[in-house]
Amino acid sequence: MFCAAIWLAGCSMLPGSPSNVDADVPVARRIDRLMPADFILLGEQHDAADHHRIEREAVQALVAQGKLAALAVEMAEGGGSTAKLSPTATEAHVQDALKWNDKAWGWDDYGPAIMVAVRAGVPVVGANLPLARIKDAMADVSLDAQLSDSGREIQRSAVRAGHCDLLPESQIGPMTRVQIARDRAMAQAIVKARQPGKTVLLISGAGHATKTIGVAQHLPTDLSIKSVQLQSGGDGSAGGRSKDYDAVWMTPAMPEKDYCASLRKG
């Protein structure tokens, strides 16, 4: 898996963040500030409980406005959908429809946001590249042209960091293609779910949500795309690269964790 050692960190080993800090502003008001938007890309750190709370509140805010076209999630493969389920469907039925892998993605983390959408009759769709297509993506050299030379180098650096600088150099290119393929798959999923006048909300790791090399690079340029980084700790001003995200929403710092420790021991 991409970012194997720091998967829980959200594959967010990218430099810089804008300085738009909204820690004391209700999530519903933050969503209002982003509107109108065809797509909102919400980039999380996967193991941050505060980020999952914000995601649930973002879904609630869009539902309350009648503006949520669909909820798309990186945590389920493309093709999975709750569109045919009743709003009264059980959580087990929802997990089955999304082909949910609870060992990879804890349902307790994502289920609350997903069920808000389901109860409102809003479809939830899997957006990630199916695992069965990973091998083909690694060998697909046409993916190299999906980013600019500079963007591809940033992505390659993120792959190195995401694998704790332990990945053989021969694998950097193929794994970069996997990341690009995943971003493109998510873009295709949310475009398919689009409804004029409404917003598709994508929940993903922060690395996928960056405007400069992530999902946004594969979306139509005539549509409104707003990208948000959820960031644990810090002051939100590191690097000042506002071009990466439209906003950064800060949450309290988490205990320090060495995500690479287990790989180094291996």
Q: What's the pLDDT tens digit per position in 181-215?
A: 999 999 999 999 999 999 999 999 999 999 999 99
pLDDT digits (tens, 9 = 90+) for 92-109: 999 999 999 999 999 999
Structure tokens at 244: 């990466």
Contact 52, 116 (CB under 8 A): no
The predicted structure's pLDDT at residue 16: 43
Give the rounded percent of residues in the chain with a pLDDT score beyond 70.
Answer: 88
pLDDT digits (tens, 9 = 90+) for 127-179: 999 999 999 999 999 999 999 999 999 999 999 998 999 999 999 999 999 99
**Fold held by 7-265:** Rossmann fold (3.40.50)
Residue 73: phi, psi to the nearest 5?
Answer: -130, 135
Query: How far is 175 from 1, CA to CA, in rounded Å?
Result: 9
Contact 61, 28 (CB under 8 A): yes
The predicted structure's pLDDT at residue 22: 63
The predicted structure's pLDDT at residue 66: 98
Structure tokens at 67: 């503006």
Is pLDDT at 237 greater than 60 in this prediction? no
The predicted structure's pLDDT at residue 9: 52
pTM of full prediction above 0.75: yes
Q: Work out the angle at residue 247's Cα, subtended by the Cα atoms of residues 34 and 164, and round it to the nearest 5 degrees.
A: 140
Q: Is the peptide bond before 36 cis (omega within 30 degrees of 0)?
A: yes
The predicted structure's pLDDT at residue 242: 55
Q: Provide the residue type at 72 as one letter.
A: A
Query: How far is 57 from 122, CA to CA, in rounded Å?
Result: 15
How many CB atoms within 10 Å of residue 136? 12
Structure tokens at 149: 């030379």
The predicted structure's pLDDT at residue 258: 84
- In this structure, the strands spanning 199-205 and 68-77 are parallel
> What DSSP line would sit under 26-71, residue for residue?
-HHHHHHHH-S-SEEEEEE-TT-HHHHHHHHHHHHHHHHTT-EEEE
Query: How far is 125 from 133, CA to CA, in rounded Å?
Result: 18
- At 10, is the pLDDT very low, low, confident or very high (cuts 50, 70, 90)? low
The predicted structure's pLDDT at residue 1: 44
Query: How far is 89 from 67, CA to CA, in rounded Å?
Result: 22
The distance of Cα 93 from the centroid of its chain, to the nearest Å, equals 23
- At 257, is the pLDDT very low, low, confident or very high (cuts 50, 70, 90)? confident
Helix (H, G, I), strand (E, B) or coil at 159: helix
Among 5-9, 46-50, 103-107, 246-250, the minimum mean pLDDT is found in 5-9
The predicted structure's pLDDT at residue 20: 52
Contact 78, 133 (CB under 8 A): no
